[in-house]
Amino acid sequence: MEGLKIAIDNLNEVINIIRSSKNESDAKQALIERFGFTEKQAQAIVDMRLGRLTALEREKIDNEYNELLEKIKYYRDVLANEFMVLNIIKEELGEIKQKYGDERRTKIIPDENEIEIEDLIEVEENVVTLTHFGYVKRLPTSTYKSQKRGGKGIMGLSTREEDFVEHLFITSTHDYLLFFTNKGKVYRLKTYEIPEAGRQAKGMAIVNLLQLDQNEKVTTVIPISEYKEGFYLFMATKHGIVKKTDLMEYDNIRKGGLTAVSLRENDELIDVRLTDGTKNILLVTRKGMSIRFNEKDVRPLGRAAQGVKGITLDEDDEVVGMSADIENASVLVVTEKGFGKRTELDEYKVQIRGGKGILTYRVTEKTGKLAGMKLVSEDDDVMMISSDGSIIRIKAKDISILGRATQGVTLMRMDDGVSVVSIARIANEDEEEKDDEEKE
């Protein structure tokens, strides 16, 4: 358009150049040299019809040229002003909404022939193990049964020298596994998403399957075969906060995990139990206090809620263990200096939630504070790990049953500066086989 305007303004000279040229190519070259036209502009002038030389057409070209200049100025202003850009987008989206914003008239339905990956996974019972240092694996229960008679321990695992199996359970390949961490988050996998490994393999690091943050550790794993009404997840933190949430609220967990409980500053989630809403809950603290209450005292709260007080703690005390009642179980407590005992569960009377509780262990300088608590059965084994990496495994039935207010006996001898940092209940192999047979 700019070339046409220049040509119109210099019409006589342009006509003379074209008339005096030998051919079209010479005419274009002469116009380029005289007026500085581009190749396209020169071609447009040579191709211009004589009808466009009338006064009316000349005025039309002038007007069109001026309009283009105005548009160019406007578009440059828009590109230089983010506010103008956003306003234009807003206006155009509003026009689209007004024009096309009616309800969807078609339905999106799955292809009848579409095959999900899960459809290709055989439904079978698996043993899943997670070690203290975070290695997870699964293997068929048939492998577990054929190997279990030969020796001590749950399975022949090839783990780090100081590692041991902390979580072991039998579940179906299509069941969900909920992984709760000390940071108050929950992650979910299908059992078949855990790599299958041989009996001697140590498995895969759990951080390769879950998007765990730094210093985030799995504290509890709960298998879920079916999300059903009437079941709850009961949680406890080291600051004595407890929370009960409907299981159905954890039926849609994204890959990066969800908040299972909102934690206050410096608090951690220590344990989670799947309950039917009627269980008695036992909390034990580092300074040897305990409280047992019925979970009916805790009303269900939303998934992201903080919870309510389960036990009133002294300023420098914290909860080290939480359990829901197990039939024919006793309360095992172990101290930092390796002392421990079992106490009959009946010695812990059911109280109202939120109190200071009753004494469960007479803590002294000799025994040290409590390192942990577990409910154990006669046939269980107990693993204890110390701060220097030493591990001892003993049978629960070999630990004396004593009263609540006693000091216990030596379970693990400690060198100076060394303390027990963790304990774990290892379910008896026959118990696992019995559970498996009941499922069948």
- Give the residue-averaged pLDDT of 41-59: 70
- Give the residue-averaged pLDDT of 275-288: 95
Contact indicator for 286, 369 with CB cutoff of 8 Å: yes
- Give the residue-averaged pLDDT of 421-425: 85
Of 162-176, 224-238, 272-286, 330-344, which gets the smallest average pLDDT? 162-176
Q: How confident is the model at residue 432 (pLDDT cuts 50, 70, 90)?
A: very low
Is residue 335 predicted with pLDDT exceeding 90? yes
Helix (H, G, I), strand (E, B) or coil at 423: strand
Helix (H, G, I), strand (E, B) or coil at 2: helix
Contact indicator for 230, 184 with CB cutoff of 8 Å: no
Q: How confident is the model at residue 234 (pLDDT cuts 50, 70, 90)?
A: very high
Q: How far is CA 307 from CA 245, 259, 318, 407, in A?
A: 9, 13, 16, 33
Is residue 431 predicted with pLDDT exceeding 60? no
Q: How confident is the model at residue 143 (pLDDT cuts 50, 70, 90)?
A: low
| 169, β-bridge pairs | 128
Contact indicator for 62, 53 with CB cutoff of 8 Å: no
178-221 residue pLDDT tens: 999 999 999 999 999 999 887 778 889 999 999 999 889 999 99
pLDDT of residue 6: 76
Looking up tokens 């409910």 gives: 375
Domains and CATH numbers, the chain: 2-100 (1.10.268.10), 126-439 (2.120.10.90)
Helix (H, G, I), strand (E, B) or coil at 261: coil
Tokens of 259: 């908040």
Q: How confident is the model at residue 161 (pLDDT cuts 50, 70, 90)?
A: low
Q: Looking at mean pLDDT, say which of 105-119, 348-362, 371-385, 405-419 comes out highest.
A: 348-362
In terms of Cα–Cα distance, which of 189, 262, 267 is closest to 221?
189
In terms of Cα–Cα distance, which of 328, 246, 272, 359 is closest to 281?
272
pLDDT of residue 165: 75
Read off the DSSP letter of residue 304: T
In terms of Cα–Cα distance, which of 360, 277, 278 is closest to 319?
360
Q: Is the dihedral of CA 18, 20, 21, 23 positive or negative?
A: positive
pLDDT of residue 150: 32
Read off the DSSP letter of residue 365: T
> Cβ contacts of residue 23 below 8 Å, gap of 6+?
none
pLDDT of residue 197: 85
pLDDT of residue 113: 62
Contact indicator for 428, 168 with CB cutoff of 8 Å: no
The Cα–Cα gap between 333 and 322 comes to 11
- Give the residue-averaged pLDDT of 301-330: 92
pLDDT of residue 309: 96
